[in-house]
Amino acid sequence: METFFEINRWIHIAAGFTGFFVAPVALAVRKGGDAHRRWGRVFFWAMVVAGTTALVGAQRIHSLFLLLTAVFSLYMAGFGYRSLFLKHLAWDARVAVFDWTVAGVGLVVFLGTVGYAFKAGNVPVGVFGALGAMTAARQLRGYANAGHWTKTQWLLNHISGFMASYIAAVSAFSATSLHFIPFPYNFLWPTALGVPVIVWWYRRVRGNRLAVNS
C-alpha cells in the first residue's frame, strides 16, 4: 500500500507541474489555433490526473482542504472543457441531462462545503466552496436560459473554468510547499491574483463582442 501511495504522489507531482507550466503557454499562443488546442488539451488532462491523484492523496493525509481543491479543480476543468461543446446553446434550448446533473450535484456539494466551512470557521474551504457554488448556480441559470446565450458565452465559461482550475492547482501547491507563507494567505493568494485576471479576460471578450456588433 505504501508503494501505491508513493507512485500516486509522484504521478500527482508530474501532472501538477505539467499543468502549472502548460497553462501559461495555452494562454500565450493564438486563441483557436492548433497550438492553443493542443496545449489546452494537455492542460485539461494534466488537471484530470492531478485532481484524481489528489483525491487519493488527500484521503491518505486526511486533508480536507486538499480534498476540496481536488474536487474544485476537477469540476472547473470539466466545466471549462465541456463549454467547448455547448456553443449551440446560443440558439438551441436543448440541454443534455448530463449537464443538468453535473451542475446540480456540484451545487449541492459546494453548498454543503460552505455550510461546513461556516460551522468550522475554515476560511479557505469556505472561499473555494463559495466559488464552486456560484459557478454551479451560474451554470444552472445559464442552462435555464439556453437558446438565448450570447455567441461568446461558451468562451467566457471556457476561460473561467480553466482559469479557476489552474488557481485551485496553484493553491494546493502553495499550501503544501510554500511553507514560508503564513496561513491562510498560503491558500488564498492564488485566488486574489487569479480572479482579477479572469475579470480582465471577461472584459476583453465582451469588449471585442461589442466592437464587432457596433
43 belongs to a structural domain? yes
112 belongs to a structural domain? no
54 belongs to a structural domain? yes
Tell me the pLDDT tens digit for each residue of 186-205.
888 998 998 898 888 888 87
197 belongs to a structural domain? yes
59 belongs to a structural domain? yes
Predicted confidence band of residue 208 (pLDDT cuts 50, 70, 90): low
- Check whether 37 has a pLDDT greater than 50: yes
- Check whether 28 has a pLDDT greater than 50: yes
Q: How many domains does the chain have?
A: 1
Tell me the pLDDT tens digit for each residue of 133-158.
999 999 999 999 999 998 889 989 99
Question: So what's the pLDDT on residue 168?
Answer: 87
107 belongs to a structural domain? no
Domain coverage including residue 163: 2-90+152-213
Question: So what's the pLDDT on residue 211?
Answer: 45
Question: What is the grid cell recorded at 21?
Answer: 507550466
206 belongs to a structural domain? yes
pTM equals 0.87
- Check whether 209 has a pLDDT greater than 70: no
